[in-house]
Every structure is written in C-alpha cells, then in structure tokens.
Chains A and B, each alone.
Chain A
C-alpha cells in the first residue's frame, strides 16, 4: 500500500502510478508533526499552507502527465540553515530571528524544480556549532526513540523528522559530521559528498572551508536520488550494486576504532563479519597522522567561525546561547600562524586518506563512537575512559571534512533489529574516492544490502513507541 511507503523510491513509484497522492502523503506527515513535534521539537517552522499548495500542484502535474521525477510530491524538511525564499533562516539563533530569505539557496531551488514538497525548517544546534542540538534558541531537538536523548547534531531536527516519519528526507549540513552524526544516532542514511561538489551558497556558514551540504534519508537509493537532483541533473535510476565478492574495503583501525562504546565496537565487528561472509575483502590500513586531526580541525573551524561572527558578537552577544557564544569567542584568540599550520596539516591528511584508499573501494569505520547521548550530560563513559561528548561524537567523522573525501553513514547493528540494548540505532560509515561520490553510493548500496537494518529503525505513522 503506497501510504506505507518508507523510502522515497517506494513512494515515488506509488505517486507516479497514482496509487496515492502527494496531498494524502503530506497530510499523514503533517498529522505526524501535530502528534509528535511537541515532544521531539524537530521543527522550528512548519510550512503547512505552502506545503499543501505544493502538494496540490504536484498532484495536478502528475495527473496531467508532467511527472518531474522521483522527488515529485515527496515531503522533505530543511535544516534551518538553508535559505528558502520568503521564510526566516534562523540558524536556531535569536541573532537571526528577523531574517527573511529573498531567494532559495541553489540546493533548495534544485529540489523545488524537482517537485519536492517543503514541509518545514528543522531545529539544529545554534549556527550548526555543536553535535547534540542542545544549544538552540528554540530548545533542544529530541531523539524519536528516547526523548531524553539527543538525536545528534547539528542537524538533529532533520534526523528526528525523518526517523519519526514526519517527512521522507531532510537537507542538512556537515562541517565536522553534522549530517553523519545524527543520521547514525537515529538509524538513517546520511551523505556528505566531496567538498565543494554541492554549492553552499544560501546556507549560513559555520566554517567556509569545511562546510558541506547533503541529505539525511532512509536508504542509499534515496541518497542517490537526492544527490542526483542536487547535482543539477534530472534524477536517474540508481545503477546496479557492485558485486560484494569484488568489494575491497580498508579499515583505518588505529585511531578511529581506539575509542568506541563496546556496543558500537560489537556492531561494527558484526558488520565486518557479515561483509566477509558475503565475499568482501576487508583489511586494516593506516592513516598515520589521524591523531592530529582534532587539533587541525579545531584551529580551522574556530578561526573561520569567529571571522563570520565577530561583528555580531560585539553588538549582540546576549542573543547567542551561552555555550555557542563562548566557543565563538574562543575562536577570536587563535593566532594566524596556527591557522596556517592547520591548513598545512589538512593537506597532509588529505594525502594520507588518498593513500589509504589506494587499491580499495572505500574505507569502512563506525560513524559515531557512542549511541545517542543523554541530553544535558557533557561527559560520557566510553569503555574504560571518560570523554567529552563533543569530542567523542566528532572522532569518526571530522577527519573527512578536513580531507574533503565523500562519506556516507548507514545503519548497522549487532542485533537483528540493528539496535543497542537500550533500543538505539548505530551507524557505520564508508569513505569514498575523492570526487567520486557516485562511486561511493554504489559501494554503499552493496554494503547496505548486507549490514543495514533500516526498516526496523524507521518509526513512521503507526509505529511510534
């Protein structure tokens, strides 16, 4: 039954065949938002009126034979960092509450052209400067499976909206992991293409040389559909998955797997075993200076964020949330020579990741070292040590913002349902060849067929816990 479609691919087939209508699908999503947004705080703004008009138009066009492709009539949410014409881009900050965008960001324009229905703007960590979504002028977004926990961040509202069945996909941004972290925490697929591949114009920046945009969705096939549209082409049917027996993956074990929650480690080991059982080859590989990544990342992101916010910090510091304000202020003290050192280190990391990918189809590692953390808890126990939540959440992802390689996370679990003993999803991550996001998606489809458990993670109408 079309109304129960879980993915864009499934829904689009039903819409094209007119087994359901965009209006029916949208009303189910709006109903879900009415029921659940009070708990999850996923949305800052819901475009009820505009979305209904878009859905009606989509139905008219499809009925008239003017089918635009697999996003036509599909409800999508947008992180409130993207400009959508005629609406505020708040960045979850009081600093921007009076802002109104006069044009769509190019990425949003591409989705609009493809017939997507914009259901609303989602909550985030203020100015995308955090991994938990706790610091937002609109209050924290909450995890669909446990509202006492963070959905991850900074695209936390986006992940919650997709995982809870309020929409079929969301547009997010990723500067250190802000698409992949919440996707992993909420059991979704999250794609960060190669740096610079998709325009960040019309998106409030955090760090201009580290920022990426990309989708959060429920399957690799859906990620490919969205990626194609965002690239500016008409969406094409995804290609045939590559043969698992020919798949070669490398595991950058030393740094990335050295600080992992035991359940994450177990789930990842289980995923590796399943891939090997299916015929894939997995070997360890070194990224010799991975241990320098956190320092490199910190000096770049702090400097670039401070440059963007300095003037506003002088005039309206009280309009920032306290934690974000103080971290932005920290960036104003980084010396130019240290920023330059970080840029040199960045080039080294890029080359080391390239080298690690030599002769293999991708790197394979966890996406998030811990399950979704509890809200308001700044320190988390990871195995035998205690770590700051922010540091440990960035540990598996930020290296690939520094290097710029394309990366994707997908659900992976050690149990049949792919959940921890607390019922939380876990994520694996694949890193692709530089400037070959399409190749990464092919690899991810093959891996997904073995390790993912997306159907069990997705809540959706009628599945709430």
Chain B
C-alpha cells in the first residue's frame, strides 16, 4: 500500500469512527512514514546491493 492510499484510508476510517481530529496527526505520520520508506538503508528483495553500513572516518570529526 502506498503512503498516499494508506493516508486516505486512515483518514476515512478515523472520520467513520468519529475521530476527525486525527486527520492532522495522520498527515504528520504520513510524512514520517514516507521518510522511513525512502531511507537509503531499506532492504531490497531484488538482490540489489542494499545500503552498507559505513564507519565514520577520523577526518569526519
């Protein structure tokens, strides 16, 4: 499910349950979820190289 579809369904459900005040919170959560899903460290089932953890070098200090 895309974040957009999820958000639409979540808002619809919240309104059905009499919780319209959830809408702005769900919109904020959708932004955080989008950030989470697009993070470079997510796994990929195709076998593409996934993000490799980097040890910060001394020069970065």
Contact = CB atoms under 8 A, between A and B. Distances in A.
Given A292-B36, A341-B37, A356-B56, A326 B25 contact: yes
A185 B32 CA distance: 27
B10 A299 contact: no
Interface string A189-225: 0000000000000000000000000000000000000
A295 B36 contact: yes
Name, among A283, A296, A333, A345, the residue most crowded by chain B CB atoms within 10 Å (CB to CB): A333
A329 B29 contact: no
Contacts of B53: 348, 351-352
A355 interface: yes
A342 B19 CA distance: 26
Nearest to A391: B28
B39 A345 contact: yes
A66 interface: no
Interface size class of A (residues with CB under 8 A): 20 to 34
Contacts of B21: 322, 326
Interface size class of B (residues with CB under 8 A): 20 to 34
Interface string A276-299: 000000011111110010111011
Contact of A334 (B19, B22, B29): B29
A298 B28 CA distance: 11
Contacts of A356: 56
Given A250-B61, A299-B33, A333-B29, A355 B55 contact: yes
Contacts of B55: 355, 358
A358 B32 CA distance: 30
A298 B29 contact: yes
A214 B54 CA distance: 32
Interface string A423-446: 000000000000000000000000
A330 interface: yes
A64 interface: no
A292 B29 contact: no
Given A285-B61, A326-B19, A335-B1, A345 B25 contact: no
A35 interface: no
Nearest to B6: A335
Nearest to B33: A338
A263 B35 CA distance: 31
B60 interface: yes
B7 to A, nearest CB: 9
A302 interface: yes
Interface string A314-339: 00000000100011011001110010
Given A295-B35, A326-B22, A344 B61 contact: no
Contacts of B51: 348
A296 B29 CA distance: 11
A333 B1 CA distance: 13
B36 A296 contact: yes
Name, among B13, B26, B54, the residue most crowded by chain A CB atoms within 10 Å (CB to CB): B54
Name, among B1, B29, B55, the residue most crowded by chain A CB atoms within 10 Å (CB to CB): B29
B56 A345 contact: no
Contacts of A334: 29, 33
Contact of B19 (A288, A289, A299, A329): A329
A302 B29 contact: yes
Contacts of B14: 329, 333
A298 B51 CA distance: 22
21 contacts: A250-B61, A283-B61, A284-B60, A286-B61, A288-B56, A295-B32, A295-B39, A299-B36, A302-B29, A326-B22, A327-B25, A334-B33, A338-B33, A341-B37, A341-B42, A344-B41, A344-B42, A345-B36, A345-B41, A348-B51, A348-B53
Closest 9 CB pairs of A and B: A295-B32, A283-B61, A333-B10, A295-B35, A286-B60, A295-B36, A286-B56, A330-B25, A285-B61
Interface of B: 1, 6, 10, 13-14, 19, 21-22, 25-26, 29, 32-33, 35-37, 39, 41-43, 51, 53-56, 60-61
